[in-house]
Amino acid sequence: MAASPSFRSAAAAGVLLAMVVAAVCLPGAAAQLCEDYYDDTCPDAYDILAIAAEISVELSGGPSWGVLLGRLDGKTSDFNGSLDLPAPTDNLTVLQQKFSNLSLNDVDLVALSGGHTFGRVQCQFVTDRLYNFSGTNMPDPTLDSSYRAFLSQRCPRNGAPASLNDLDPTTPDTFDKNYYTNIEVNRGFLNSDQELKSSPQAQGTTAPIVDQFAGSQDAFFASFAQSMINMGNIRPVTDPSQGEVRTNCRRVNGS
Ligand code: HEM
């Protein structure tokens, strides 16, 4: 029986993936992440996180992807490195710069931010948008007024900063495209979420990608899976002289 076009393209994709995996697993290659790294050893903490992220997304209705393995845990913690992480108050220009410093582009930024289609967020990350946006003593003008009224009830001005809210109130525990449809109607929770659509710099850069993902869950899922692989492959430590497999996820061995 002749292979159907979809089978042929899936097979071609499989061959391509095998070539990529072979390339990164070859001895002496720059990175040595592999599909079957743990035949003889135990996973390290970093790989466990990468696997857990994939399984959580899949179990919540999202896409699946092959997690390449073999990262080693670092032997030091880098406080200054943590300052490079994106912040919920960042504007689009800063977000783009921080992602680009890690070779992640606008599609990666928009697709990965879609991780906020599920999970919870503390009130402290929205209070400035509700009550004192950019020091104006006024709410963020890009925040939908009925969503603002809803959030103001949940997060009163002097309420508990750690109270939890849904990042996506429409489908809080489902991995779907509603993160983007929320942003389209000015219902992004974090400033960093709404910036992807509402920043003046978003026009012609991230806003059209938000529009695309709001219209096509398939497009979002395909990009999210690829961007998770891209993010998981940022400068992995694979050289045993530079890293280790932690016996306690929270601690460097021997500390
Ligand atoms: C674009 C830059 C990002 C910023 C500024 C950001 C910021 C935040 C903040 C402030 C929270 C709430 C934490 C809390 O209240 O304790 C959060 C939660 C969360 N973020 Fe992000 N995030 C970003 C990117 C990502 C990415 C790339 C992913 C995954 C692909 C992701 C997935 C999540 C999830 C799943 C939660 C909910 C966690 C829970 O329910 O415990 N975020 N993020």
* Residue 136 labeled ligand binder: no
Q: How many CB atoms lie within 10 A of CB 132?
A: 14
How far does the centroid of ligand 1 lie from the alpha carbon of residue 164, in Å? 13
* Residue 116 labeled ligand binder: yes
**Going by C-beta distance under 8 Å and a sequence separation of 6 or more, which residues neighbour residue 86?**
94, 95, 98, 99, 192
Between the alpha carbon of residue 211 and those of residues 72, 174, 181, 195, 214, the distances in Å are 38, 20, 8, 13, 5
Predicted pLDDT at 216:
98
Predicted pLDDT at 42:
65
Predicted pLDDT at 30:
40
Torsion sign (Cα): 176, 180, 185, 189: positive
Predicted pLDDT at 47:
86
Q: Is 120 exposed, middle or buried (0-12, 13-18, 19+ CB in 10 A)?
A: exposed
Please report, as a single letter, which amino acid is at residue 168: D
* Residue 166 labeled ligand binder: no
| pTM (2 d.p.) | 0.86
| Nearest-atom index, ligand 1, CA of 167 | 37
Q: Per-domain residue ranges for the chain?
A: 120-166
Nearest-CA residue for ligand 1 atom 25 is: 113
Closest by CA to 97, choosing from 107, 111, 84, is 84
How far does the centroid of ligand 1 lie from the alpha carbon of residue 3, in Å? 42
Between the alpha carbon of residue 124 and those of residues 65, 137, 151, the distances in Å are 33, 16, 12
Report the C-alpha gap between 242 and 76 in whole angstroms.
Answer: 10
Nearest-CA residue for ligand 1 atom 17 is: 121
61 lines ligand 1 (CB under 6 A): no
How far does the centroid of ligand 1 lie from the alpha carbon of residue 35, in Å? 27
Contact between 27 and 238 under an 8 Å Cβ cutoff? The reply is no
Give the chain's length. 255
Helices (H) and strands (E) in the chain, counts: 11, 4
* Residue 168 labeled ligand binder: yes
* Residue 176 labeled ligand binder: yes
How far does the centroid of ligand 1 lie from the alpha carbon of residue 230, in Å? 17
112 lines ligand 1 (CB under 6 A): yes
Block means of pLDDT (10 residues each) for the chain, length 255 residues? 35 36 39 67 79 97 94 84 91 98 97 98 98 96 97 97 98 98 98 98 98 98 97 88 84 87
104 lines ligand 1 (CB under 6 A): no
Please report, as a single letter, which amino acid is at residue 91: N
